[in-house]
Structure 1
Amino acid sequence: MNRALAQAFPHVYCELDFTSPLELTVATILSAQSTDKRVNLTTPALFAKYRTALDYAQADRAELENLIRPTGFYRNKANSLIGLGQALVERFDGEVPATMDELVTLPGVGRKTANVILGNAFGIPGITVDTHFGRLVRRWRWTAEEDPVKVEHAVGELIERKEWTLLSHRVIFHGRRVCHARKPACGVCVLAKDCPSFGLGPTEPLLAAPLVQGPETEHLLALAGL
């Protein structure tokens, strides 16, 4: 299934815009209960003003909240960003650490965020269990676990470590574009023959095709013979 996903999505990547580990950490914190698209509309102005961990540590709360308000839960996120900046300055010389154990000690950073940072900023393999990833691997019967940490470990036992980051991107891409929560596009899915949940959505290709989303739509439909 991983090979089929690689064919469907040959160019996968983190869909949050960033140019440094700090920017990715901030963007991932902002993405909680939000969308990557909304975060990417918010971060240009934010990153222009706050360039270092010290900038976040010393941020004016009201000003920071106003900048990140579009991402939702802006008060809690402002607390996390200010705390993040302070922790980085006080304990890590202002730099984002590159280990799981250190990352999860930072405000606003859990295992999911840490795996995003490790995989995409530092090239260290990690499995990112977001809502899409968890939903799909349960549909595929890779695991029945609901807890993200247990899902991460269960899938990690099935897939080579070097593939973890790419697998995460492929599964998330597939969840966003094809295997939707309410109405998956089963009839045009590259995994149709192998998926134990085939039939949750329309199985006729012409009915499933309009459900496919994203810039890869033409490629995905071509793979389905449309």
Structure 2
Amino acid sequence: MAAEFDTLAEWTAQVATDLGSSFKIPAACRGSGSLAVLDWLIDELHLSHGGSLLDCGAGMGGPAAYAVRQRSVRPLLVEPERGACRAARSLFGHPVVRASALALPVGDDSFDAAWSLGVLCTVPDQLALLTELRRVVRPTGRIGLLVFVARSSEPFPHPDGNHFPTEARLLSLVEKAGLGIEDWRGTEEMAGPTPEWQSRVEKVTAELADRHRGQRAWQLAERQSQLIGQLLADSTVTGELLTLRRR
């Protein structure tokens, strides 16, 4: 996990900067779904000009930067890995706080909306994360999640640091956190990346491989990425999009 979100994040930011501004958001969104996923979340969260958005586990800040471009929101990025924080600042200049998703350093009812993309399955105390998101979003606000969900409770090989909930477990967590589901959509229902977007992601990935394939951090991150890709391909896990509100 540290290899992917710390060392590799800074390498990716450097590659995107070298390739040009049009590569920054695609590079920083790798692993966060397609633009169709982000557009769906932006619409379902009712993001609007000047509204505040908390990105919990923001990584390099690509999804938040896309939301700024689409709706002129005011984001705050919270990310535990130092390298990812530095990458987000250098790429986009949005406010970034290094902190845990389980102890968000903001006051109660502070944000119009929040999202957490691909983060829930990386923390062991998933109820604490959902409870924190509920705490910091205003009573009328919404929370968006991208969650990788296990199709079965039977054990299977999984990437280090991942704790995939089953659908039943996820429903239970949402209820215990005092949240209700507004909408739920599988990522397989969403359109894939556009050819232009995919081309830019592939160019960034190829450049990263050329520069760093001999280094352990790159090899570890690639192994993690390939394993998750295989789990999604054979439907051992599925990508699920949820929007939540306080009950």
Higher relative contact order, structure no. (Cα contacts within 8 Å, ≥ 6 residues apart):
2
Tell me the TM-score normalised to structure 1 length.
0.24
Structure number having the greater strand percentage = 2
Structure number having the greater helix percentage = 1
Tell me the TM-score normalised to structure 2 length.
0.22
